[in-house]
Chain A
């Protein structure tokens, strides 16, 4: 697992080498800001504490926003896989 940091984000951006198992996957490719954050909020309600949400997006702003959002809301940002045409973000729900 590689760890990287973007210039502007205060929260480290962790890149994963390969996909991991998720309990729920949601595809919001082609959806722009702020659909990535709204979708996470909505979809986390549908999984249990400790479970993992995968979110597919091609929105570059998510690289900063999702780790930051996890930090602010007390959920775990596990990491992101960079496929050629989209990212998959993994988030572990830590509280209801």
Chain B
């Protein structure tokens, strides 16, 4: 059976050159980077080389990169580390309703610890309004964290504008750029951010490697105490092979970015154009300001998970948004915050393209998905009323 991987926002295959770069550090170059003899020095040099490459990808200085185990750790570190380090100045932080769970759940943890958190609403495209950020600021606000690009709906937020609002008030600004780093150009100076999270596997690096960019001179409390790794800010013996792989992947992403974008974007546009021809299917997220390989939809009268299963049965691997949607069978909070009714939000499906995606893959998807939608609607309990959705909504509310 044909296999079509359209879930690049979940993860990506490791780039062969990244694997090649990693292999010596999984084999003969196994030294601990803190050891002072040659094996240790080799590992230390490899980490510093990777740090330089990751910094170059986002136009940062190497000493501003702190390696972590994942994007989620970088997000936890930024939110909790900055909020706690600066709590003597204030106890209020601002996030948006578009955030990933590593931000939202960190914010909830901080709330339980006595912080006040504002969860900013978004418009129908999932865009955060910089004016709303400005209004939410209090004299207690120490940190604002807004996602750069949503993995669920692809929308790219006006980060430079929001960062300017934060800077004007002397508030730290963090952006979760896990879905965007390595996929679209990022310059931390042009964006004006103080902190930025990223993950290697989002740009063909290995899993188990992430990083937090933190502008020099900022005070942060570590999440992990121990040794002097990462300047004492993130203890634990470094994951040398993964860090090396991340460095190589960053170097390749920087070099190949334009080519990668021009490879996936026209195919992404074709998927959107063709799939929108089916009845009762809507694009979610911003029509233009979106990740180049990201096509996300809400399909009425069917449940996203069943669509994924049938797609997988045809060899097409896609996603249905966040873990909430997929694993807990709950309507996505991100889609709900964009004003999408919960019955429609249940029918969420996300296709994300990558290096290996071909025009033939896109043809296969465009041919297969409408058939699956038709089949599911025939057997769906929602199916009967699908010409009169308002009746269906009322029925649903009564039951």
Residue A27 at the B interface, CB < 8 A? yes
B228 lies within 8 A of A30 (CB): no
Residues of B within 8 A of A31 (CB): 222, 231-233
Which of A9-17, A32-40, A43-51, A63-71 interfaces with chain B? A32-40
Residue A94 at the B interface, CB < 8 A? no
Write the chain B residue with the least CB distance to A36.
Answer: B232
- Complex Cα distance, B86 from A30, in Å, reads 11
B88 lies within 8 A of A30 (CB): no
Which of B90-98, B213-221, B300-308, B360-368 interfaces with chain A? B213-221
Residue B225 at the A interface, CB < 8 A? yes
A38 lies within 8 A of B228 (CB): yes
- Complex Cα distance, B151 from A23, in Å, reads 46
Residues of A within 8 A of B88 (CB): 85
Residue A78 at the B interface, CB < 8 A? no
From A27, A35, A85, contact of B232 by CB (8 A) = A35
- Shortest distance between the CB of A33 and any CB in chain B (Å): 9
- Complex Cα distance, B85 from A29, in Å, reads 9
Residue A81 at the B interface, CB < 8 A? no
B231 lies within 8 A of A29 (CB): no
Residues of A within 8 A of B233 (CB): 31
B219 lies within 8 A of A32 (CB): no
- Complex Cα distance, B233 from A18, in Å, reads 29
From B85, B221, B231, contact of A35 by CB (8 A) = B231
- Shortest distance between the CB of A68 and any CB in chain B (Å): 19
Q: Is the interface of A mostly helix, strand, loop or mixed?
A: loop
| Tally of A interface residues using CB under 8 Å | 10
With A32-B225, A85-B88 already in contact, the answer to whether A27 and B219 are too (CB < 8 A) is yes
Write the chain A residue with the least CB distance to B220.
Answer: A30
Residues of B within 8 A of A30 (CB): 85, 219-222
- Shortest distance between the CB of B146 and any CB in chain A (Å): 25
Write the chain B residue with the least CB distance to A32.
Answer: B225
Residues of A within 8 A of B221 (CB): 30
Residues of B within 8 A of A35 (CB): 228, 231-232
- Complex Cα distance, B231 from A27, in Å, reads 12
Write the chain A residue with the least CB distance to B232.
Answer: A35
Residues of B within 8 A of A85 (CB): 88
- Complex Cα distance, B85 from A30, in Å, reads 8
- Complex Cα distance, B228 from A31, in Å, reads 9
- Complex Cα distance, B88 from A32, in Å, reads 20
Find the residue from B85, B219, B225 having the highest chain A CB count within 10 A. B219
Give the contacts of B181-238 with A (CB-CB under 8 A).
217, 219-222, 225, 228, 231-233
A29 lies within 8 A of B225 (CB): no
- Complex Cα distance, B221 from A27, in Å, reads 12
- Complex Cα distance, B218 from A28, in Å, reads 10
Residues of A within 8 A of B228 (CB): 34-35, 38
B232 lies within 8 A of A28 (CB): yes
Residues of A within 8 A of B225 (CB): 32
B219 lies within 8 A of A29 (CB): yes
Residues of A within 8 A of B231 (CB): 31, 35
- Shortest distance between the CB of B143 and any CB in chain A (Å): 15
- Complex Cα distance, B225 from A35, in Å, reads 11
Write the chain B residue with the least CB distance to A31.
Answer: B232
Interface residues of A (CB under 8 A from B): 27-32, 34-35, 38, 85
A and B contact pairs by CB, cutoff 8 A, 24 listed = A27-B217, A27-B219, A28-B232, A29-B85, A29-B219, A30-B85, A30-B219, A30-B220, A30-B221, A30-B222, A31-B222, A31-B231, A31-B232, A31-B233, A32-B222, A32-B225, A32-B232, A34-B228, A35-B228, A35-B231, A35-B232, A38-B228, A38-B232, A85-B88
Interface residues of B (CB under 8 A from A): 85, 88, 217, 219-222, 225, 228, 231-233
